[in-house]
Structure 1
Amino acid sequence: MKYGIYTSNKMTQGFGDRDTIYEDIDVLEADVGKYKPTELPEREEELDKIHMALRPVTMDGSPRDILVYGPTGQGKTAGVKLKSEQLQEWANQEGVQLEVIHLPCKGADRSYHVLTRLVKELREVRKGQGVDEPSGYQRKRLFEMVLDELETIGGTVIIILDEIDAIGEDDYILYELSRANPDDVKIGIIGITNDLQFRNNLDADVRSSLGQREITFNPYNADHLQNILARRTAQALRDTHFEDGHEDFAHLKSDVLEEGTIPLTASLAAQETGDARQAIELLSYACDLADDEGVGMVGERHVRAAKEEIEREALIDTIGAETTQRKIALLTVVSAELNDATGETTALHQLYSNLCEYIDANELKQHTFREKLNDLVHSNVLSKDRHGRGRGQGMSNMYTLAGDVNPDSVLDALEDDSRVGHIVEVIGS
């Protein structure tokens, strides 16, 4: 029942045994840590605003504090890094003391955790890599450490707080940093967030000081994504280049890409979120599929296969992380669909009861079982509709697999599960 692009003949294939379509494979990496674009022509207006906020440094002034908004994959981090690196290059040439601290906040659900990371990063400016994060201190003391390190470093320090919305409503660090005035150092704060409502959740005083300058990165459209993918492929793939000095999709020529490959990739990404990272990952996967086949041409079928595989892997990750009771509830719906049975709550609970008995699992009452089904609805694994039972009979909930989820994918995801794998054997037989 296993799915995927790798089959048994790949196990005996030697590395480097065939030609490749790639010229520089890392260019099709969406992670800015692995490949950093040197230009973002679709974001000229946003880059100009970031430039304006940083420009006071070139006049011996303090950089402006800014908040950068936008959904995932819109070039926020890449844009901030691009402009801050340009400023750092200028500072190095002019002998101006400047430090840029890029601090990922993902996973730091409180200001306390961001402060410990910030102390570590600032100390590494002076001492090099390998400094431990401080622990066991109150956050007030941690902020005092931040100020001490800033004063020791001196000059101008720009602190980039990436995905700062991770701290939720605990805006202590933003409140303190936006008001900090350490001796002999100029501070600039750049907050990057995917949450367009983040500013509204901040304390009014924080909003007034930090949120005076806001830059919004709106979703890319299909044309933007086509041009982004064209620039990536011109560097990443063999026999792929621009003509007439124009670096856009209309002037891209390639002997390894079918004409519709990039437009389809861009269209699929634009229909969902306009996420450039998603578009790049999809095209990269499609290129891997074609290269693995050794066909020498990346076509629309590779894009569609890549999309299906990415969605399947994401589904496996989602389902695999669920609790045992949710997995049993999900398999109950799968069993009902495979047997053309009703997805009504009461009928599902009877089937669920049988499955629990089969693997000797605790059986939940119907109302708790319904909660597990609703949890799966919220995870976009199941869909729920309400149907009338007939005149005067009230309403009932009907549960089905979500539109992009099929029974085989669920069974594939859970067949090796130590707790519910035996249910999969019965349902799938």
Structure 2
Amino acid sequence: MGLFEPDTDIYRDRDALREDYQPTEIIGRDDELNRYISALQPVINGDQPNNIFLYGKAGVGKSACTRYLLDELKQDATRHDVTLSTIFTNCEDLNTSYQVSVELVNELRPPDDQINTTGYPQHRVNEMLWEELDSLGGTVIIVLDEVDHLRNDSILYQIPRARANGNLDDAKVGIIGISNDFKFRDTLSSKVQSSLCEKELQFPAYDAEELRAILRQRADTAFYDDVVSQDVLALCAAFGAQDAGDARQSLDLLMEAGDLAAEENVEELTEYHVREARSRMEESRVKDGIIGLTDQGKLVLYALLMTEQAGKTPTRARELQARYELVCDRYGVSPLVPRRMRDHLNELAMLGIANSNERNEGEAGGRYYEYELATDRELLLDALSDTVDNVGDPERLKQQFQRS
């Protein structure tokens, strides 16, 4: 017998729990799908497609619904003799319109005819893009996932106006933008907002009942019969609803629990496996997040940890500043200006290491954010061990701060 043998007791198809798995039915998004179908209707009519922007937190079904509906749309387009092409581009590592244009050109060209990400002026790259799009002809839908990563939005102006500006003759192009940032549209220039004329769809977080239905659908495919009970799915769904209604996190949790059961060579998942999996995932997420922080980001987190131990959270950024400056002094670096320190606090909130809560005190107090830890303190201390070695124990530093 070899070192590796197929598992036969737990998983039927583990890939059904992965992010790239496309289910045959979308659960918990009936209202959103109906509005999405209405927004895509011009494609089947042979008209210029709408520009559609989807907003919602990660893991609420934006990308899954998009892939599902575009697959259905392509099938129906074939039946109605409509020429339809779709292009998916993830903007996570693309923050300029130039980079997006190059990526789109390369998506449309064969592997032996790719262009470099440098060396061409923007107008020439755009000309290549118009040439490739017109060579497709018909209707072209460009999906820009994580579009909120763009720091230069001219591509969102150029594509919608390409036909009106005489850059396209044969292709009718529409954009589908997918964003985790509900305020992304507000960051766009006024001319982009005017030219997009987009349909907006909001995707709310899943509740526990919807998450349970999604997990049941995937579990029926992923696991053998009688491996996963309703109680196990309910617990995964409850944790998912607690963690911002994120289906991706719930599915990851279920898969981690399944892997634990497989490691133990048992034939059934239990609530113990779910709780243990959640603990492992939380520890890994926090450590990975902290490893990716800059030194200043770690110092801001350390100051927030001090404030938490002093019982002074939630706290405003300006109230954290003095502790942060003490930590910087002990570390031997100059503190950042308050605005840059707030940027690091917001990054901690984005990573789920801290919570950021908006407060509105009306005309008297105005609007502001308060911050507090969202992670176990002992876990943070372990992950910040190098910083602790350089700065000192946070409890002693807290006492020094109180005496100063």
- TM-score class, shorter-chain normalisation, is 0.7 to 0.9
Q: What is the match of residue 26 of structure 1?
A: 15
After superposition, residues 34-113 of structure 1 pair within 5 angstroms as: 35-93=21-79, 95-113=81-99
Judged with a 3 Å threshold, the aligned counterparts in structure 2 of structure 1 residues 292 and 425 are, in CA distance, closer, same or farther, namely farther
Q: What is the match of residue 297 of structure 1?
A: 268
After superposition, residues 22-421 of structure 1 pair within 5 angstroms as: 22-29=11-18, 31-32=19-20, 35-93=21-79, 95-123=81-109, 127=110, 131-168=114-151, 170-181=152-163, 182-239=168-225, 255-324=226-295, 363-364=332-333, 378=346, 379=348, 402=373, 404-407=375-378, 409-410=379-380, 412-413=382-383
**Structure 1 residue 95: Cα displacement:** 5.0
8 Å CA contact 1:63–1:187 kept in 2: the answer is yes
**Structure 1 residue 349: Cα displacement:** 8.5
Q: Which amino acid aligns with 1:171?
A: D
Q: Identity across aligned pairs (percent)?
A: 35
Judged with a 3 Å threshold, the aligned counterparts in structure 2 of structure 1 residues 130 and 85 are, in CA distance, closer, same or farther, namely farther
Q: Which amino acid aligns with 1:290?
A: A
**Structure 1 residue 52: Cα displacement:** 2.2
**Structure 1 residue 256: Cα displacement:** 1.7
User: In angstroms, what is the RMSD of aligned CA positions?
Assistant: 3.8
8 Å CA contact 2:303–2:323 kept in 1: the answer is no
**Structure 1 residue 91: Cα displacement:** 3.4
What's the TM-score once normalised by structure 2's chain length? Answer: 0.77
Q: Counterparts of 1:272 and 1:374 in 2: how far apart (Å)?
A: 23
Q: Counterparts of 1:335 and 1:219 in 2: how far apart (Å)?
A: 32
**Structure 1 residue 162: Cα displacement:** 1.2
Q: Counterparts of 1:333 and 1:371 in 2: how far apart (Å)?
A: 16
Give the SS at the match of 1:260: helix
Give the SS at the match of 2:88: strand
8 Å CA contact 2:299–2:324 kept in 1: the answer is no
8 Å CA contact 1:74–1:275 kept in 2: the answer is yes
316-325 or 157-166, which moves further after superposition?
316-325
8 Å CA contact 1:120–1:134 kept in 2: the answer is no
Q: Which amino acid aligns with 2:125?
A: L
Q: Counterparts of 2:355 and 2:60 in 1: how far apart (Å)?
A: 29
Q: Counterparts of 1:274 and 1:315 in 2: how far apart (Å)?
A: 19
User: Per-residue displacement from partner, 1:273-297 (whole Å, max 9, x unpaired)?
Assistant: 1111111111111111122112222
Q: Counterparts of 2:156 and 2:79 in 1: how far apart (Å)?
A: 31
Q: Counterparts of 1:323 and 1:19 in 2: how far apart (Å)?
A: 44
Q: Which amino acid aligns with 2:193?
A: R
Q: Which amino acid aligns with 1:297?
A: E
Q: Which amino acid aligns with 1:154?
A: G
Q: Counterparts of 1:346 and 1:183 in 2: how far apart (Å)?
A: 61
Judged with a 3 Å threshold, the aligned counterparts in structure 2 of structure 1 residues 130 and 45 are, in CA distance, closer, same or farther, namely farther
What's the TM-score once normalised by structure 1's chain length? Answer: 0.72
User: Per-residue displacement from partner, 1:183-225 (whole Å, max 9, x unpaired)?
Assistant: 1221122111111111222233432342442111111111110
Q: Counterparts of 1:179 and 1:99 in 2: how far apart (Å)?
A: 19
Q: Counterparts of 1:210 and 1:333 in 2: how far apart (Å)?
A: 41
Q: Counterparts of 1:56 and 1:290 in 2: how far apart (Å)?
A: 49
Judged with a 3 Å threshold, the aligned counterparts in structure 2 of structure 1 residues 138 and 311 are, in CA distance, closer, same or farther, namely same
218-227 or 255-264, which moves further after superposition?
255-264
**Structure 1 residue 258: Cα displacement:** 3.6
**Structure 1 residue 352: Cα displacement:** 8.5
**Structure 1 residue 112: Cα displacement:** 1.6
Query: Which consecutive unaligned segments of at least 5 residues does structure 2 have?
Result: 314-319, 357-370, 395-404
**Structure 1 residue 334: Cα displacement:** 8.1
8 Å CA contact 1:258–1:300 kept in 2: the answer is no
8 Å CA contact 2:44–2:80 kept in 1: the answer is no
Judged with a 3 Å threshold, the aligned counterparts in structure 2 of structure 1 residues 166 and 375 are, in CA distance, closer, same or farther, namely closer
Judged with a 3 Å threshold, the aligned counterparts in structure 2 of structure 1 residues 294 and 149 are, in CA distance, closer, same or farther, namely same
Between structure 1 and structure 2, the one with the greater Rg is 1
Give the SS at the match of 1:101: strand
Judged with a 3 Å threshold, the aligned counterparts in structure 2 of structure 1 residues 351 and 128 are, in CA distance, closer, same or farther, namely closer
Q: Counterparts of 1:132 and 1:237 in 2: how far apart (Å)?
A: 44
Query: Which consecutive unaligned segments of at least 5 residues does structure 1 have?
Result: 1-12, 240-254, 357-361, 385-399
Q: Counterparts of 1:292 and 1:78 in 2: how far apart (Å)?
A: 30
Judged with a 3 Å threshold, the aligned counterparts in structure 2 of structure 1 residues 336 and 212 are, in CA distance, closer, same or farther, namely closer
